[in-house]
Structure 1
Amino acid sequence: MFGPLLPPPRLLSMSSIQFGFGFGSPRPPSDRSLSLAALWAVVLLSPLRGTARAAASGAPPHTAMVPAVFAFGDSIVDPGNNNGLATVAKCNFSPYGRDLDLGVPIGRFSNGRVPSDMLAEKLGVKKFLPAYLDPNLELQDLLTGVSFASGANGYDPLSAELALVLSLSDQLDLYTDYMETVRSEVGEERASAIASESIYILCTGANDITNTYFGTLLRRFEYDVSSYADLLVGSASSFLRELYGLGARRIMVLSLPPIGCLPSQRTLHGGPERDCFNSADEAAVLFNSKLCAEIDSLKEDLPGARLVYMDIYYPLLAIIQDPARFGFEVSTKGCCGTGNIEVSYLCNRLDHPEMCDDDTKYVFWDSFHPTEATYRTLTDQLYSKYGRELF
C-alpha cells in the first residue's frame, strides 16, 4: 500500500493558473486529474505600519518599524493558498481551523493559527497573515503582507510536482507580481521600502525528506542522503539569492524539524513500538548543518542582508521528548482521528468520534502538523532567541 510512486503523469501546468491579487480575481481553477496527488496522499498517510515593541512577548529591546510580513514555503506557513489548486494537500474543511476566532476552516494546516500569523502579531503588523491567492484580499491586506506558501512544497522542485502545488519558483513569481501591483498602487519609493524593511519567513523541506526521498524511489536512484541534502541546500541558496535580488533584506530561515518523530513517520517507519524514524531525523540534522553553513556564506555575499538561521529541530525535539515540561500530555500521536496517520483529507469531520476534546494537551494536531499551542510555544522561543538578529 505504501509502495513507490509510479512515474508522474502530465502535471498541472502552473502557467495555466491565473494568479490574482484579490480585487475580484478568479481563484485558481480546479482540475479533476488528481491521480498523482492521490498517490502523494498515500505516501504522506498600507498604509499602516506595524511596530515591534519590547513589551510584545520576546520582541527586541528597541522599537523597529516593520511594514509587512511575507511567508514562503510549505504547510507550516500556508494559510490557504492550496484551497483552489488541484491537489489533495489542502485542509479547508472541518475539523481544521476549529479553534480560530470564527471556527471556520480557511486552509491552515492546524486547529488554529500558524507560525507566520504569530510572528506577524509579535511584530505588531496583524493577527492573521492571509493567503496571497485569497480572492477577497484588499489593498491593505497586500500592503501589510501575505503568505505565498503552499502545503506539500519543498526545496526539491519534484516535491511540488508530485503534490500538484506551488513550487518555490512559483511562489517567487507570485511575489514579483505582488510587487508590481504594490508599485502601481503606492509608487516605487514606498514599494522599495516595503520590500527592504519587511520580515520574510522561509519554512519548507520536510516533505522533501519524508515524501519525496524516503516515500518514493524517484530521488534515491540518483542521490544518497548527503548528496540529496546538497541538492536541497543548493535550491535554498538560489531561492534566497533571488529573493534578495527582489529587494528582501530581513529573512528568517527555519531549519527542518525532527521529522522522523512526526506521528505519521512513527506509524510508517517506527515499527510496532512506533519509535522515531531515525533515518529521517539523521537526514534532517545533516541538511540543517549544511543549510546553516550556506546561510553563513550568503551573509558574506549579500551586502545588507540579515539572514537568520532559526533552529527548530532541537526546540521541537525537547517538547516531543518531555511534553509535560511544556504543558502537554501527548506527543506521539495527533489529536485528529487516531492521531497515527490522518492528515489533510484523512483528517475530516467523520473522525470527530475519535478526535481529542482538548487539543492544547497535544503536541500535534494531525499526524504531520503541530497544534496551535505547540506553534505558540515554539514561536515564543524562536523570537526570543533570534528576534534581535532581524534588526
Structure 2
Amino acid sequence: MALSSGSSAIIVCVLTCSILLLPVMSESSCYTTIFSFGDSLADTGNYLLSGAASFPAVTFLPYGETSFHHPTGRFCNGRLIIDFMAEAYGHPLLPPYLATQGRGSERYAKGVNFAVAGATALNVSYFVERGILGLWTADSLSVQLGWFRKTLQSLCSESCHDYLKRALFVVGEIGGNDFNFAFIQGRKSIDEAVSYVPDVVGAIVEAVNVLIKQGAVELVVPGNLPIGCSTLYLTVFRSANTSDYDPQTGCLIKFNEFAVYYNSYLQDALQKLRKQQPHAKIIYADYYNSAMGFFKNPSKFGFESALKACCGEGEPYNFNLAHMCSAATSVCKDPSKYANWDGIHLTEKAYEWMAHGFVNGLFTHPSLKPPALGH
C-alpha cells in the first residue's frame, strides 16, 4: 500500500475568505466545525485507509498530483468540493475519520470527513437482494452515521447541543452510487432504477432527520450530477442513435432525465422535512445545474473538453472501463483544461468552480452562510 496513514490527507491550507468577495454578516458567519458524509465525490482518504481493494490505482499518482503531489485517497487530481468549502470557511482540510482513530480530539475538533468512495445511501443487503453485486464498500450512510456518533462522544459531552448548532453538516453527495451500481454492474433498466428512488431518498432524509435530532441545525444535502454527461455512462451506454444525445451537450438524454427526476424527488422530500423540522436549515445543493454549465459551455470555464477524461485511454472519450486511470495510462498535460478527471470523477478545477457556486449561494437553496472576511 502506498500510504499507510492519513497524515498525507490532513493538510492545513487556509484560503482567505475575502477572495470570495462576500459580505460580512452581523452574526458570526463562519461555521466552527464541518462534518462531511458521502462517497468518492467527498472522500478525503477513508477508502484508501480501508485498503482500496476495488480500486488500488487511487493509491498511486497521478491521483493527487496537482495540489498534493502525492496520492491522498481523493479520487481526483487535487482537491474536492468539500476541501474548497473548508478552505473558504477558514478550516483545515477535513481529516478522514479512519485517520482520527487514537488521536486526541483537538486534532479534529474543526471537523471530520466520514465519506467513503463507493458508499451507498442504502445498506449493501438492499443490493444483494436485487442481484446487484460487487459494491466497493459496505460503509454505507448508516455506517458513517455510526462513526459520527462515536466521534461526537469524544468532541463534546453535555455541551453537544451548542457545539452542533454552530457546525455545518454536508450530507453527500450520497445516493449516486446506488444507481451507478444498479445501471453499470446490475444492468438494471431505468424503470427499475426509478423504483429504487423512494428508498434511496428515504435513507438520505432519515439520515438528515437523525442528525437534526442529535442537534444539527444547518445541513447541506446535494443532489445528483447529470449522469448522462458522465464519461462512464457515455462509454458503457454508447448509442448509434443520434436522437439519444442532447445536441447541445452530447450527453445521453435518458440518463439526465433520470437524474432530474431523482433530484426533484429528493427536493420534495427535503421540503417535507423542513416543515417537520422548522428550526433546522436544510439546504439543497444543486450539483446537476452547477455541473451542467461545464457541458453546455465548457470554454466559459476554461475547459477544452468536458466529456473527455483527462486521465485514461480509449476512444472517443479517453475512457476504458477495463483500463481506467492509473500510473500506466496517459494523463493530459493540463488537468485544469478538463472538467472530467478519470471518466467517473471531475477535476480539481471543476470542483473548484462548483464549490465557489455553492459558497456564494448560486446553487444552494437556501444559501449557505457567507464566509466572514478576515479569519
Q: Which TM-score tier does this pair reach, normalised by the shorter chain?
A: 0.7 to 0.9
Structure 2 residue identity aligned to 1:68: T
| Counterpart-to-counterpart distance in 1, 2:261 and 2:184 | 15
- The CA deviation at 1:65 is 3.9
Same amino acid, percent of matched pairs: 27
- The CA deviation at 1:387 is 8.3
Q: Is 1:195 equivalent to 2:164 in the alignment?
A: yes
The aligned residue for residue 232 of structure 2 is: 264
The Cα offsets for residues 124-175 of structure 1, whole Å up to 9 and x where unpaired, read as 122x122111158553332000110011112232369722241001000000
| Counterpart-to-counterpart distance in 2, 1:108 and 1:345 | 19
The aligned residue for residue 40 of structure 1 is: none
Structure 1 residue identity aligned to 2:162: A
| Counterpart-to-counterpart distance in 2, 1:214 and 1:349 | 24
Structure 2 residue identity aligned to 1:237: V
- The CA deviation at 1:114 is 0.5
Q: TM-score, normalised by structure 2?
A: 0.81
| Counterpart-to-counterpart distance in 2, 1:111 and 1:265 | 21
- Check whether the contact 1:59–1:123 (CA below 8 A) recurs between aligned residues: no
Aligned equivalent of 2:256, options 243, 259, 281: 281
Q: Is 1:216 equivalent to 2:186 in the alignment?
A: yes
Query: Aligned pair in 2 of structure 1 residues 320, 22: CA closer, same or farther (>3 Å)?
Result: closer
| Counterpart-to-counterpart distance in 2, 1:216 and 1:334 | 24
Query: Aligned pair in 2 of structure 1 residues 51, 214: CA closer, same or farther (>3 Å)?
Result: closer
| Counterpart-to-counterpart distance in 2, 1:329 and 1:294 | 37
- The 5-angstrom pairing of residues 53-72 of structure 1 reads 55-57=18-20, 59=22, 61-62=24-25, 63-72=28-37
Q: Which runs of 5+ in 2 are unaligned?
A: 8-13, 128-132, 370-375
**How many residues align structurally?**
334
- The CA deviation at 1:214 is 5.0
Q: Which runs of 5+ in 1 are unaligned?
A: 1-20, 24-49
Q: What secondary structure does 2:261 align onto?
A: helix
Aligned equivalent of 2:350, options 361, 374, 383: 374
Q: What secondary structure does 1:363 align onto?
A: strand
- The CA deviation at 1:332 is 1.3
The Cα offsets for residues 176-211 of structure 1, whole Å up to 9 and x where unpaired, read as 00001113xxx432x433322111112112212222
- Check whether the contact 1:229–1:287 (CA below 8 A) recurs between aligned residues: yes
The aligned residue for residue 322 of structure 1 is: 297
Structure 2 residue identity aligned to 1:210: N
The Cα offsets for residues 257-278 of structure 1, whole Å up to 9 and x where unpaired, read as 1012111111111225885333
The aligned residue for residue 147 of structure 2 is: 174
| Counterpart-to-counterpart distance in 1, 2:234 and 2:254 | 12
The aligned residue for residue 73 of structure 2 is: 107
- Check whether the contact 1:343–1:366 (CA below 8 A) recurs between aligned residues: no
| Counterpart-to-counterpart distance in 2, 1:92 and 1:22 | 12
The aligned residue for residue 286 of structure 2 is: 311
The aligned residue for residue 9 of structure 1 is: none
| Counterpart-to-counterpart distance in 1, 2:88 and 2:22 | 7
- The CA deviation at 1:59 is 4.3
- The CA deviation at 1:290 is 0.8
Aligned equivalent of 2:98, options 109, 112, 133: 133
- Check whether the contact 1:132–1:146 (CA below 8 A) recurs between aligned residues: yes
- Check whether the contact 2:283–2:366 (CA below 8 A) recurs between aligned residues: no
Greater RCO structure (CA 8 Å; 6+ sep): 2
Structure 1 residue identity aligned to 2:20: S
- The CA deviation at 1:58 is 5.6
Query: Aligned pair in 2 of structure 1 residues 387, 224: CA closer, same or farther (>3 Å)?
Result: closer
